[in-house]
Structure 1
Amino acid sequence: MADNLLEIDNLSVDFQLPNGTVPAVKNVSFSIQPGETLALVGESGSGKSVSSTAAMRLLPELARTSGAIRFKNEDLLSVTPKRMRRIRGNAISMIFQEPMTSLNPLQRIGAQIAEVLEKHLGLNKRQARPKVIELLEQVGIPEPARRIDSYPYELSGGQRQRVMIAMALACEPELLIADEPTTALDVTVQAQILALLKDLQARYGMAILFITHDLGIVRHFADRMCVMRYGELVESGTTTEVFSNPQRDYTRMLIDADPRGHKAPVDATLPMLLEAKDVRVRFALKKRLFRASEYFEAVRGIDLSIRRGQTVGIVGESGSGKSTLGRALLRLLKSRGEIRFDGQDIAALDTANMRPLRSRMQVVFQDPFGSLSPRMTVGEVISEGLRVHHPELNRRQREAQVVEALKEVALDPAMRNRYPHEFSGGQRQRIAIARALVLKPEFLLLDEPTSALDRSVQVTVIDLLRDLQQKHDLTYLFISHDLSVVRALADTVLVMKEGQVVEQGATDAIFANPRERYTQELMRAAFVGDAA
């Protein structure tokens, strides 16, 4: 125990809410040694992030903490706020899951990193600038001397996460807490960030507490792991031991929670539902008074055909044009080229003439919490489309269809008077699917519908989508950067890069023998664990 850098001893955290006390962490104990990587794993709500936030003394005021948290034998729960501020950032740093919400959107990234150096090391702005450039270079930001003056929105998701890492490492901490640092990233960027963390760990000799729900990462990244469920520690050990011989059914379920199976092939004689030729989408970058405007072409001449009952998967990194293409096909964005839905040319239809088709073409977005109005009950959210597209229905008829839609996605209709924040992430995604299904569409655009979900929840949502497709003869356009999900759901795959299709074909053929180098890189980054 004397060699431990961090010791969590019988930690319990309760939240004092107006309607009662909610236990979030229950008598959890674990330790981290210098230079070690410990993974804290479990589903959403298991208490892993609360445990790490408690170690940083960043819990909200309504939290009540008991037990002990010792860093180099100093009890962090009893030190003064002033002493904790010196430890936080200097000796212990933290990287959060979503860099866009952690970075100040109104402040240049260089100034945000420099603030850490000024607060903790006493550097002035002139002294801090070369150190910031050096940090940006270390974390792999291209042209750091120029990028130092960029705002967060001018960087990609992977670059913003690198900025967060640079900020966390500014004072060369002994312990880095990484809370789901790769969840929202593409597989290739995820692999780069993990390799970067390993490299920096070796350079600085720091320990890492890595919090994640993705056990595929843990297998290759962590020395030891602790599995949490419902606020309790249910299993721990070396990563090799836990993966080779899990002692608890819950741990075994997490390890096995990968999308599996293959979609039954579609009859090649079925008619085409959606056809597109030479689709192009461009966005104006700068408008000039006397000269031609500058444009960025996000989708460049793509052809696509989808039969009834078929699932076409579109994969590629962020910025490849996947979501832009999907929105263009549903006429949610202006585009050029030919788009035919059920034989009808819809490319030139205006808003009024598109409206009758909207109930037949629906969308499920990536973030269900962002796409569901927080001020409407679930019943109101689901029935909104019925009020727009089927005004002839009375309230009782709409209510009956809402109940039916909730049953379809395996949710209790009695919960329809609750609000979105009262549901888990997986339940909210089911609500988003129910909102689309209530209109009885023929075509569904699924834009990253599982990327924000735990692996175990992903599996249930994928099974649900399979069942619904078979039951209602639905046609899917499935957009994702998660190749294991696409492999389980899609008949054919399009691989996109920089607005173009670089490879396409039957799912099994693409995954078994990718021809293009870019596709091979995506596969290697996504399925690094399969080779182990």
Structure 2
Amino acid sequence: MTEHPSRPASGPLLEVADLAVQFELPHGSVEAVKGINFQLEPGETLALVGESGSGKSVTSTAIMRLLPELAKASGSIRFQGEELLGATAKRMRRIRGGEIAMIFQEPMTSLNPLHRIGQQIREVLDRHKGLKGKPARAKAIELLEQVGIPEPHRRIDSFPHELSGGQRQRVMIAMALAGEPELLIADEPTTALDVTVQAQILELLKGLQRRYGMAILFVTHDLTIVRHFADRVCVMRHGELVEQGDTTEVFRAPQHEYTRMLIDAEPHGRKAVVSDSQPMLLEARNVRVRFAIKKRWFGPSDYFEAVKGIDLNIRRGQTVGIVGESGSGKSTLGRALLRLLKSKGEIRFEDTRLDTLDKAEMRPLRSRLQVVFQDPYGSLSPRLTVGDVIGEGLKVHAPHLSRAERESQVMAALEEVRLDPGMRNRYPHEFSGGQRQRIAIARALVLKPDFLLLDEPTSALDRSVQVTVIELLRDLQDKYGLTYLFISHDLAVVRALSDTVLVMKEGAVVEQGSTEQIFADPQTDYTRKLIAAAMLEDVA
């Protein structure tokens, strides 16, 4: 890499001094970042950690000078000795991508869906390296190969939607490398990925860092990643930097109570195993789900088999965890068991054969079989108040209730999930992610179900919020004898909540057993790979 002429002979690559960011909003100004100071050395990995709203992403976008117009930054950001807050727009265009590059959490929103990935990489090469035509295409293929895209000669002409999530993130990394930056800012680059893909991306970034000698500013809320990936760590809370230091030292002896809380915010404990004397609540035999991928007028259609003949037994009060990578079929299986998807095979709920029922015959059972999804904001109507959202099911399944009785049950459900019933007249957007997930749980609980399908209910939440939701689910299960089918790619959460675990791969169960047995003595290479990728501290 070429060294910028203004860079000092020695010293930090990046110096942030007294950085403050204010947002001028209609109701007043909000201080998102409050006078923070840190440095990043050449070739170093510095992690900027904190919960949602801590100001870490605002800090990273301020470094890139990508803040919205209503934001005002003050203080100093010096890169290679050059002050960025005073740099011209023209100069910043040269710096972005050429000297400092950035990758984001969701590559699908950063990649242009209308352009092939090769074209998007070549644009960076043209702007920052002056490469065009065949040399640019050859370099783009080389970059795709470096980031581990299979068959780069063919994939270079793919559109973003034709790639998996992990492959799209690799393309974003290839685009970032195209300008040969001195600094790579990675803002939650693995949050939306499976644990195995996450581990691959982190290993890839480390290898590329060694190859190119670049520094990495890693923005994340996941301290498990920080422990294994970063040289130093800065902890942010409410826009302030509350602690920074060597990663090993901070984890060994955190000085600030907030840092200690973040480190301790791991799912702890194990679920008490349900006795074999408990009655069977849900049984499935040879469940299969297939989707038509190509229909023909004449001759047989082509099908994709998403679930391949799975057997499952769930006792009352039990939690069965289902783990596996994206595309393994775990969510499809969960929806099939509740007859939200067409399937083949026998599904029995207590003494009732669900697979023989039509929609009208299933309706009376819906109150007893409830679902909580991954994204509560997407599953809560933004046009309804929280009280209306929770009470909606009561209108359908308990039409005999008066309005006052319905409101009383809504308030009780909110209290059950530790939310103030006085909030029932607010709208979903007025709540945090963790609060919205509690509202989604309250919506299910108000119908007094026997069985809850929990489909990635904590994956979009900060670790500390995850722990409170997990504790809530445990308490509710103990209080009401609820039965859970818990679907997740987060093995730490599954280990803390489940009696038994099913490991799925490509639509089939490759291993199942008690939680203790699966995590202490996995029998298949695939399960061992999942556990290793999850970086669970006390798992052999």
Q: TM-score, normalised by structure 2?
A: 0.96
1:151 to 159, 170, 178: 159
Maintained 8 Å contact 1:339/1:345: yes
Q: CA deviation at 1:528?
A: 5.3
In the alignment, which residue of structure 1 is the partner of 2:186? Answer: 178
CA distance in 2, matches of 1:427, 1:320: 29
**Does the residue aligned with 2:270 lie in a helix, a strand or coil?**
coil
CA distance in 2, matches of 1:6, 1:38: 11
In the alignment, which residue of structure 2 is the partner of 1:496? Answer: 504
1:310 to 302, 313, 318: 318
1:201 aligns with 2:209: yes
Q: How does 1:398-413 map to 2 (within 5 A)?
A: 398-413=406-421
CA distance in 2, matches of 1:277, 1:178: 45
1:98 to 106, 109, 122: 106
In the alignment, which residue of structure 2 is the partner of 1:391? Answer: 399
In the alignment, which residue of structure 2 is the partner of 1:475? Answer: 483
Q: How does 1:239-388 map to 2 (within 5 A)?
A: 239-388=247-396
**Does the residue aligned with 1:27 lie in a helix, a strand or coil?**
strand
CA distance in 1, matches of 2:432, 2:77: 29
Q: CA deviation at 1:38?
A: 0.3
Maintained 8 Å contact 2:492/2:536: no
In the alignment, which residue of structure 2 is the partner of 1:417? Answer: 425
CA distance in 1, matches of 2:103, 2:470: 30
CA distance in 2, matches of 1:199, 1:342: 53
Q: CA deviation at 1:114?
A: 2.1
In the alignment, which residue of structure 2 is the partner of 1:449? Answer: 457
Maintained 8 Å contact 2:267/2:493: yes
Maintained 8 Å contact 1:219/1:529: no
| 1:30-52 CA distance string (max 9 Å, x none) | 11111000000111111101100
Q: Which amino acid aligns with 1:436?
A: A
Maintained 8 Å contact 2:372/2:457: yes
| 1:233-292 CA distance string (max 9 Å, x none) | 000011111111111111111111110101112121111111100000111111122221
Q: Which amino acid aligns with 1:62?
A: L
In the alignment, which residue of structure 2 is the partner of 1:38? Answer: 46
Maintained 8 Å contact 1:48/1:231: yes
CA distance in 1, matches of 2:162, 2:370: 31
CA distance in 1, matches of 2:58, 2:388: 33
CA distance in 1, matches of 2:539, 2:281: 38
2:128 to 120, 124, 137: 120
**Does the residue aligned with 1:88 lie in a helix, a strand or coil?**
helix
| 1:126-168 CA distance string (max 9 Å, x none) | 4422222111111111111111222222222211111111111
2:518 to 490, 510, 514: 510
**Does the residue aligned with 2:298 lie in a helix, a strand or coil?**
coil
CA distance in 2, matches of 1:305, 1:444: 15
Structure 1 range deviating more: 24-33 or 374-383: 374-383
CA distance in 2, matches of 1:168, 1:422: 36
1:217 aligns with 2:225: yes
In the alignment, which residue of structure 2 is the partner of 1:142? Answer: 150
**Does the residue aligned with 1:522 lie in a helix, a strand or coil?**
helix
Structure 1 range deviating more: 62-71 or 191-200: 62-71
Q: Which amino acid aligns with 2:294?
A: K
CA distance in 2, matches of 1:400, 1:531: 45
CA distance in 2, matches of 1:474, 1:115: 55
Maintained 8 Å contact 2:520/2:539: no
Q: Which amino acid aligns with 1:71?
A: F
CA distance in 2, matches of 1:107, 1:393: 55
**Does the residue aligned with 2:284 lie in a helix, a strand or coil?**
strand
CA distance in 1, matches of 2:400, 2:515: 43
CA distance in 2, matches of 1:322, 1:183: 19
| 1:291-343 CA distance string (max 9 Å, x none) | 21111101000000101110000011111110010011011111111111122
2:171 to 155, 159, 163: 163
| 1:339-367 CA distance string (max 9 Å, x none) | 11122001121111111111111111111
Q: Which amino acid aligns with 1:333?
A: L
In the alignment, which residue of structure 1 is the partner of 2:535? Answer: 527
| 1:69-119 CA distance string (max 9 Å, x none) | 111111111111111111011101111011222222333222222222233
**Does the residue aligned with 1:347 lie in a helix, a strand or coil?**
helix
Q: TM-score, normalised by structure 1?
A: 0.98
CA distance in 2, matches of 1:492, 1:531: 17
Structure 1 range deviating more: 445-454 or 120-129: 120-129
**Does the residue aligned with 2:22 lie in a helix, a strand or coil?**
strand
CA distance in 1, matches of 2:467, 2:527: 24
| Structure 2 spans left out of the alignment, 5+ residues | 1-7
CA distance in 2, matches of 1:191, 1:502: 21
Q: Which amino acid aligns with 1:33?
A: E
Maintained 8 Å contact 1:220/1:529: no
Q: Which amino acid aligns with 1:512?
A: A
Q: CA deviation at 1:388?
A: 2.1
What's the C-alpha RMSD, in Å, of the aligned pairs? 1.4
Q: Which amino acid aligns with 2:109?
A: T
Maintained 8 Å contact 1:493/1:505: yes
Q: Which amino acid aligns with 2:509?
A: V
**Does the residue aligned with 1:264 lie in a helix, a strand or coil?**
coil
State the identity %. 76
Maintained 8 Å contact 1:118/1:125: no
1:63 aligns with 2:71: yes
| 1:465-507 CA distance string (max 9 Å, x none) | 0000111111000001111111110000000011000110111
| Structure 1 spans left out of the alignment, 5+ residues | none
Q: Which amino acid aligns with 1:146?
A: R
Q: CA deviation at 1:197?
A: 0.2
In the alignment, which residue of structure 2 is the partner of 1:50? Answer: 58
1:464 aligns with 2:472: yes
CA distance in 1, matches of 2:383, 2:125: 42
